[in-house]
Structure 1
Amino acid sequence: MSSSKNAAVVNYAEKKHSVEIREIPVPEIDVNDILLEVENVGVCGSDLHQWTSDHSWPVNYPVVLGHEFGGKIAALGKNVKSWKVGDRVVSETAAIIDSQNPMSKVGLYNLDPTRKGFGYGVNGAMTRFVKVPARCLHSVPENLSFEEACLTEPSCVAYNAVVGNSSIKPGDRVIVIGPGTIGILCAAVARLCGAEVAIIGLEADKGRLEIAKKYGCEPIIGNAENWARKRDGLGADLVIDAAGVSETLKVALSLVRPNGQITKVGWGPTPCNFSLDPLVQKNVRLQGSFSHNWPIWERVISLLASGALDVKPIIGGIWPITEWHEAFEKMHSGKVVKSVLKPV
């Protein structure tokens, strides 16, 4: 390690725009941890929500942002036997879990209510060195670049939403609301499952909708009623709500067919203020989808390494960590789908 200090992107308070570069010490690792030298870290919508202070989860301030990351192992805790220094890895996000929690015991540690993740509960990876529990690691094949590998995490969110938590069959008609990273990746995974897919955005999302077209999706600005009812007049088999607002659930309820499904993966702290009666009247299944676990990561890394799931089109640029503000702004304004940072 060349330095005892780390330049880090730190969210230091709840007040809006309380993010800055700070020098922090290289973390000390425990016996079951590894020290990871970060190669790349993706900017997530949740990082932006913490920056603009419109998030709906507790944050342990001050905290280093960043939970979409990969790199090389720089040091090992004394109990870590399954890895070696120099190994190329990506990390899951569940930094702290209770192994005795009933959810953890059945492998769904992502749903452990006491779970704490990188970037809000413990220090994340928008820095050069990060402490990671060895249980969180997955090997990155040599043919997969770290720029792509750091998008394993959002790809796992999409995979779990579409494959794990939705009922989807080849030939289904699927509408995705919201052309951000998760929305476009959900659309891409739905296409891999053999569905016809449309993705809805606003006028301001034109650039991001163009990128969605590269995955074989129909981009729609505004009203998607015609597309939803095109086959038999009844609506889409599945609507995936990947927008960061609550009111899009009302749109989803109007677009889904009777006996169809809505999977909600986007966060929005605002109350809904509308009736859920259409959910009852249409006999619709409303499903939440949160995070991911070990087997999903292994599947997604295989998809990325084989090229079956190509994340390169959504990467809008790579910025040094010191230029985090521009990377955040570019994503926040919709100019790019995904910003990626590189430690310096």
Structure 2
Amino acid sequence: MKTASAAVVNFAPEKGSVEIREILAPEIGDDDVLLEVANVGVCGSDLHQWTADHSWPVNYPVVLGHEFGGHIVETGKNVINWKEGDRVVSETAAVIDINNPMSRQGLYNLDPTRKGFGYGVNGAMTRFVRVPSRCLHRVPDKLAFEQACLTEPCCVAYNAVVENSRLKPGDRVIVLGPGTIGILCAAVARLCGAEVALVGLENDRQRLEIAKLYGCEGIIGDATEWAKRRDGLGADCVIDAAGSSITLKIALQLVRPNGWITKVGWGPQPLGFSIDPLVQKNVTLQGSFSHNWPVWERVIALLAGGQLDVKPIIGGVWPVTEWHEAFEKMHSGEVVKSVLKPV
């Protein structure tokens, strides 16, 4: 008989509709594994569902959490190449249509029917989670789960900076928004050989100090001087990782003619300004959403090899039953990233 475990559940669309509930371990299908969660990261999207200011559909009630890793404890009868005890992390695309044209190109992250852990299906802020075996990636023994569970936000950053931007060594890059994704985008841009400035507000000072550990310059407020420092024309690339629409207007001001803007941050507000500078400057505007299998393999290699270190952004590890404190500390800006541990 399966025992019940504590889970962080978003149960309704109203603000604050998150609580601890006891749930049974899920039944798995023939192509699934049952994963015992070691650690799960708290994402800004988890906070947005808690505060009810998200812009995506949610299947209530749902267990939160899509940044996770752990050990396989059970495998479905069709599962090959995986066994009990394997250390793994999971991608977020819990439900996809394998026959969708995007999925057939390997871009299942862009399948319009895609449903992710933590909003479309039950996520990992609990002890056991059902995971399709196609989502799994092996975690080397030397990579601790406290860091490995953050593979997912690293993949968001890698996809934005490497796959969806045209960075070259020596480029000058501005990242707007020093949240988890912004800091990681800045770190990945530095790995690409770019000069990087991360821009935030006065209350982001602590986060900007963390960015300096990655070799980035931290700027509070106006980044115009830094953008134009080389030749007066602006930054080669601006990565918009802020959760607000207005930062696109700032990006258009900071980018150089024939430059590049990659938008990875969500902003549900109407724009309310002209995008004529996009035309006048001949600027490329690129969206970036999620990630796919090859991105995960490369990011795990970077994490395991030490080229990308997520330890500076981890503000602490809390038992899943203390989710509220972990959420509050992120929401207030006291920590960049909270990590939970199931009990």
Could you state the TM-score of these two structures normalised by the residue count of structure 2?
0.99
Provide Cα deviations, 1:171-226, integer angstroms capped at 9, x if missing partner: 00000000000000000000000000000001111111111110001000000000
Provide Cα deviations, 1:75-125, integer angstroms capped at 9, x if missing partner: 111111210000000000000000000000000000000000000000000
Partner of residue 49, structure 1: 48
For residues 203 and 17 of structure 1, what CA distance do their matches in structure 2 show? 27
For residues 93 and 19 of structure 1, what CA distance do their matches in structure 2 show? 21
Corresponding letter in the other structure for 2:18? V
1:252-267 matched pairs, under 5 angstroms: 252-267=251-266
Partner of residue 213, structure 1: 212
Partner of residue 103, structure 2: 104
Partner of residue 122, structure 1: 121
State the Cα distance separating 1:139 from its structure 2 match.
0.1
Partner of residue 71, structure 2: 72
State the Cα distance separating 1:4 from its structure 2 match.
1.2
Corresponding letter in the other structure for 2:4? K
Corresponding letter in the other structure for 1:202? L
Residue aligned with 1:58, SS: coil
Corresponding letter in the other structure for 1:145? A
Corresponding letter in the other structure for 1:235? G
For residues 105 and 73 of structure 1, what CA distance do their matches in structure 2 show? 27
Partner of residue 334, structure 2: 335
Residue aligned with 1:230, SS: coil
For residues 145 and 222 of structure 1, what CA distance do their matches in structure 2 show? 36
State the Cα distance separating 1:239 from its structure 2 match.
0.2
Partner of residue 152, structure 2: 153
For residues 299 and 333 of structure 2, what CA distance do their matches in structure 1 show? 26
Runs of 4 or more, structure 1, over 6 Å off, are none
Partner of residue 61, structure 2: 62
State the Cα distance separating 1:6 from its structure 2 match.
1.6
1:109-258 matched pairs, under 5 angstroms: 109-258=108-257
Corresponding letter in the other structure for 2:286? Q
RMSD: 0.7
State the Cα distance separating 1:15 from its structure 2 match.
0.3
Corresponding letter in the other structure for 1:67? H
State the Cα distance separating 1:268 from its structure 2 match.
1.0
Partner of residue 290, structure 1: 289
Partner of residue 301, structure 1: 300
Partner of residue 10, structure 1: 9
Provide Cα deviations, 1:18-64, integer angstroms capped at 9, x if missing partner: 00000011100010000000000000010011111111110000000
1:319-334 matched pairs, under 5 angstroms: 319-334=318-333
Gaps of 5+ in 2: none
Provide Cα deviations, 1:248-307, integer angstroms capped at 9, x if missing partner: 000000000000000000001111100000000000000000000000000000000000
For residues 178 and 132 of structure 1, what CA distance do their matches in structure 2 show? 32
For residues 203 and 59 of structure 1, what CA distance do their matches in structure 2 show? 33
Residue aligned with 1:261, SS: strand
Partner of residue 22, structure 2: 23
State the Cα distance separating 1:72 from its structure 2 match.
0.2
For residues 269 and 340 of structure 2, what CA distance do their matches in structure 1 show? 30
For residues 57 and 268 of structure 1, what CA distance do their matches in structure 2 show? 12
Partner of residue 80, structure 2: 81
Identity of aligned residues (%): 80
For residues 61 and 105 of structure 2, what CA distance do their matches in structure 1 show? 32
For residues 108 and 246 of structure 2, what CA distance do their matches in structure 1 show? 29
Residue aligned with 2:186, SS: helix
Could you state the TM-score of these two structures normalised by the residue count of structure 1?
0.99
For residues 285 and 209 of structure 1, what CA distance do their matches in structure 2 show? 27
Gaps of 5+ in 1: none
Residue aligned with 1:200, SS: strand
For residues 318 and 218 of structure 2, what CA distance do their matches in structure 1 show? 28
For residues 63 and 177 of structure 1, what CA distance do their matches in structure 2 show? 31
Corresponding letter in the other structure for 2:212? K
Partner of residue 274, structure 2: 275
Residue aligned with 1:74, SS: strand
Residue aligned with 1:287, SS: strand
Residue aligned with 1:60, SS: coil
For residues 21 and 205 of structure 2, what CA distance do their matches in structure 1 show? 35
Residue aligned with 1:85, SS: coil
Corresponding letter in the other structure for 1:43? V
